Amino acid sequence: MTDQLLLGQTLRFSSDPFSGDPEAAAHISARGGVLVRNGRIAAVGEADNLRRDNPIATVTDHGDHLITAGFVDGHMHYPQTAMIASWGKRLIDWLNTYTFPEEMKFANRAYADEIAGRTLDLALANGTTTLTSFCTIHPGSVDAYFEAANARGMAVVGGKTCMDRNAPDGLRDTAKSAYDDSKALLEKWHGKDRITYAITPRFTPTSSREQLHVLGALWAEHPDCLMQTHLSEQIDEIAWVRDLHPQARDYLDTYEAADLLGERGLYGHSIYLEPREIDRLAEVNAAVVHCPTSNTFIGSGLFDMAGLKARGIRTGLATDTGGGSSFSMLRTMAATYEIAQLRGTALHPAQLMWLATEGSASALHMSGQIGSLNVGAMADIAVLNLASTPAIAQRSAHANSLWEALFPTIMMGDDRAIAAVYVAGKAV
Ligand code: GUN
Ligand code: ZN
């Protein structure tokens, strides 16, 4: 394959913009370029230099559009795509009323294939090149998702959602079948092509102690897999966990007691954390995943980004579709900004962009592989039009810096701002 040279404005990071001056962590070039070779980023730099050094590369000039790493969604539910924006409920009612009936449909493999393909296409249209998804209890829903990702060449994370109680008939497995099915699926998929398997107990209320324990044992047998679940999303949910586990010190302890707390664990939401839970997450270097449009949509609460980042806790960013109300990581960054404002912190656009790319990649232990424009990363790339609507264009037209030009797209942009997407160097 001949080398490919993408030209435009470029944005990449050499460090975490939460530790120190956010702008110093970023490298921006008003006339930069990215050289793609065999699906990876082979060079980044100034457009003129890259052209001179690579005279036979195929050039795609994106003008003054912004070339950035493709977005990495650190937590979502592809089976909830068709019921996004369902009205009027909070978490437990929302699950029972809208979510579980929809997830029941994934017993039908053809339906799973249709929604998996639809979800990945919606993600790509929004500049998201990696999804981290819960599937349903049905093993076929996992095959559908990974096959659809492979057909698109995408790096994805996912796993069979396990639940053996507090879910309707037809949507429960058992401790044994959860272990057996998850083991068979991870042996089939983990590490194949660009697939990463995540052992996936939905959350404490829907797993018996026995199920949590066998999934902890499975993770210990396959420690290179990720583990994803939910933690402390709503007050009622936490009270329910306390009723179900009166002996537990806190919500996280219900996972910890089952060996489901670890460095490769992803704890979605993590809003109402006790000091001990924060200490333990920090000690084991686990990752939390912020789902801001979901947290406002289902009325969950205000995630403490500044506090958790100050404790050094690895933090990813996610849509949480369909609890989240958008497929767009731009909308997700806007909601992140708004929630942080309500907590008294103004996040810098560099911090928002980093969270949506390298932050999520780091939560997934894929730093340097995805979510990055640095040399050696896979060429999963999004190209942003910073003047995609009249309202955005009239604001960015008189910006004095790239940050000022980008921020209106973060706050007001959507899929119209995605000018191009590349997956492993191939234009979508
Ligand atoms: N907690 C347990 N399951 C879910 C889910 O599907 N969505 C959200 N937002 N929270 C959950
Ligand atoms: Zn979720």
Element (H, E) at 11: strand 4-13
Measured distance CA(150)–CA(148) in Å, rounded: 5
C-alpha 47 – ligand 1 centre gap (Å) = 45
C-alpha 75 – ligand 2 centre gap (Å) = 6
204 lines ligand 1 (CB under 6 A): no
In the DSSP assignment, the letter for residue 24 is G
CA distance between the termini of the chain: 17
Counting ligands in written order, the one closest to the CA of 320 is 2
C-alpha 177 – ligand 1 centre gap (Å) = 21
C-alpha 299 – ligand 1 centre gap (Å) = 13
Measured distance CA(234)–CA(256) in Å, rounded: 20
C-alpha 323 – ligand 1 centre gap (Å) = 7
Asked if 356 and 74 touch (Cβ cutoff 8 Å), the reply is no
Counting ligands in written order, the one closest to the CA of 95 is 1
pLDDT for the residue numbered 418:
99
* Structural tokens at position 47: 């457009």
237 lines ligand 1 (CB under 6 A): no
Query: Burial code of 94-121, b = ≥16 C-beta within 10 A, e = fewer?
Result: bbeebbbebbbbbeeeebbbbbbbebbe
Asked if 355 and 336 touch (Cβ cutoff 8 Å), the reply is yes
Query: Burial code of 325-347, b = ≥16 C-beta within 10 A, e = fewer?
Result: bbbbbbbbbbbbbebbeeeebeb
pLDDT for the residue numbered 366:
98
pLDDT for the residue numbered 1:
73
323 lines ligand 1 (CB under 6 A): yes
Nearest to 47 by CA among 33, 67, 68: 33
Choosing from 75, 83, 91 the residue with most ligand 1 atoms within 8 A of its CB, the one to mutate for a pocket test is 91
Measured distance CA(201)–CA(159) in Å, rounded: 9
Choosing from 92, 98, 99, 132 the residue with most ligand 1 atoms within 8 A of its CB, the one to mutate for a pocket test is 99
Pairing of strands 161-162, 40-46: unpaired
* Structural tokens at position 421: 């997407």
**SS3 state at 378:** strand
Which numbered atom of ligand 1 lies nearest the CA of 268?
10
Measured distance CA(222)–CA(159) in Å, rounded: 14
228 lines ligand 1 (CB under 6 A): no
Counting ligands in written order, the one closest to the CA of 266 is 2
pLDDT values of the chain reduced to their tens digit, one per residue, 428 residues: 799 999 999 999 999 999 999 999 999 999 999 999 999 999 999 999 999 999 999 999 999 999 999 999 999 999 999 999 999 999 999 999 999 999 999 999 999 999 999 999 999 999 999 999 999 999 999 999 999 999 999 999 999 999 999 999 999 999 999 999 999 999 999 999 999 999 999 999 999 999 999 999 999 999 999 999 999 999 999 999 999 999 999 999 999 999 999 999 999 999 999 999 999 999 999 999 999 999 999 999 999 999 999 999 999 999 999 999 999 999 999 999 999 999 999 999 999 999 999 999 999 999 999 999 999 999 999 999 999 999 999 999 999 999 999 999 999 999 999 999 999 999 99
DSSP sequence for 37-82: ETTEEEEEEEHHHHHHH-TTSEEEEEEEEEEEEPEEEEEEEGGGGG
Asked if 155 and 366 touch (Cβ cutoff 8 Å), the reply is yes
Contacts with 238 (C-beta within 8 Å, 6 or more apart), sequence order: 232, 251, 272
Asked if 276 and 249 touch (Cβ cutoff 8 Å), the reply is yes
> What amino acid occupies position 298?
I
Q: Is 415 exposed, middle or buried (0-12, 13-18, 19+ CB in 10 A)?
A: middle
Asked if 402 and 28 touch (Cβ cutoff 8 Å), the reply is yes
Which numbered atom of ligand 1 lies nearest the CA of 230?
1
In the DSSP assignment, the letter for residue 357 is I
Measured distance CA(145)–CA(112) in Å, rounded: 8
In the DSSP assignment, the letter for residue 177 is H
Q: List domains and CATH numbers for the chain.
A: 4-70+373-427 (2.30.40.10), 71-327 (3.20.20.140)
Asked if 79 and 102 touch (Cβ cutoff 8 Å), the reply is yes
Q: pLDDT for 116-128, tens place per residue?
A: 999 999 999 999 9
DSSP sequence for 193-229: TTEEEEEEE--GGGS-HHHHHHHHHHHHHSTTSEEEE
C-alpha 251 – ligand 2 centre gap (Å) = 16
pLDDT for the residue numbered 236:
97
- How many residues are given for the chain? 428
